[in-house]
Amino acid sequence: MNGDSARRQRTGSLPLMLRRSPNLLAGLLLLLPIVACALLAPVIAWHDPYAVDVQARLLAPSASHPFGTDELGRDLLARVLYGARASLAVAFGIVAIGAAAGTLVGTFSGYLGGKTDSLIMRLVDIFMAIPFMVIALALTSALGPSLVNLVIAVGLLSVPFYARMARGLALSLRRQPYVLAAWAMGASSAFIVRRHIIPNMVSSMIVLASIGMSGAILASSALSFIGLGAQPPMAELGAIINGSRSYILDEWWYTLFPGVVLVMAAFGFNLLGDGLRDILDPAGVSR
């Protein structure tokens, strides 16, 4: 029973971690270019994503327009870069809301236990039983279509996903010997939750959030695709793909490039999550 060596390994260097988890490597390889391009979109794109040029409508990829142009002659490379930027920001907002609120709700539920716990968890069950897209549709149409409302709606809907995990972690962490030791030293409940329980669930929640990012990207793009998120002329991956629907048969580049970027991002976050899980809680670490 020696957890020390395992614990030390997990704080190893980045190359070591990459060698131990091919998933992490693959995830980073997919995500790094996308994230870099999204952050540097204003620097990289030499066209304005909103500049209409009807003369240049639906041009095939060329040196001047590497991804081609859309039906209004806007440069697709610029639109995809800005679109990725918008999609990533939206997904990040969704995950931030969901993970933060979910951690609080789940910790509260798991730590208190008893009737409170049952009540909260049954509510969570109800939300998980209804198909996600259906409530997302209802909420976004009730709030009115806009990106901010989409972030709020999808963020709130993802709370149960994080709350379940946080509850399970809180249930097991509150029985840890160091929590008992803290009780015996006179710590208060609030203090135990803040200093002993939440910090020790962070690594697991990061894994979940990373996997949640891919779901959030897909959900926000899907809602924008059906017109409940980003509004034209805003560049957002789902909205761009929506615009391309009528041209999918003849102007292949219009759908392909935003679609590929969307898939890379979603897949990349999934792999990153798996990779982080391999590294943060490797099976067989004695606790």
Site for other proteins, rule CB under 8 A: 1, 3-4, 7-8, 176-178, 180-188, 195-196, 199-200, 202, 287
CB of 281 to other proteins, least distance (A): 13
Q: Which is nearer to other proteins, 110 or 258 (CB)?
A: 110
Question: What minimum distance in Å lies between the beta carbon of 147 and other proteins?
Answer: 36
Instruction: Please state the closest distance from residue 69 (CB atom) to other proteins, in A.
Output: 52
Amino acid at 61: P
> Judged by CB, which is closer to other proteins: 58, or 187?
187
Name the residue with tokens 């039906």.
Answer: 71
SS3 223: helix
Q: Are the C-beta atoms of 87 and 237 separated by less than 8 Å?
A: yes
Cis peptide before 160 (omega within 30 of 0): no
Which residue, 260, 262, 270, is CA-closest to 224? 262
In this complex, which beta carbon is closest to other proteins, that of residue 198 or of residue 241? Answer: 198
Cβ–Cβ < 8 Å for 139, 153:
yes
- Three-state SS string over 194-222 comes to HHHHHHHHHHHHHHHHHHHHHHHHHHHHH
- What is residue 75's three-state secondary structure? strand
Residue with tokens 């002329």: 233
Q: Which is nearer to other proteins, 126 or 202 (CB)?
A: 202
CB of 154 to other proteins, least distance (A): 30
Shortest gap between Cβ of 166 and other proteins (angstroms)? 16
Based on CB atoms, which residue is closest to other proteins, 119 or 260?
Answer: 119
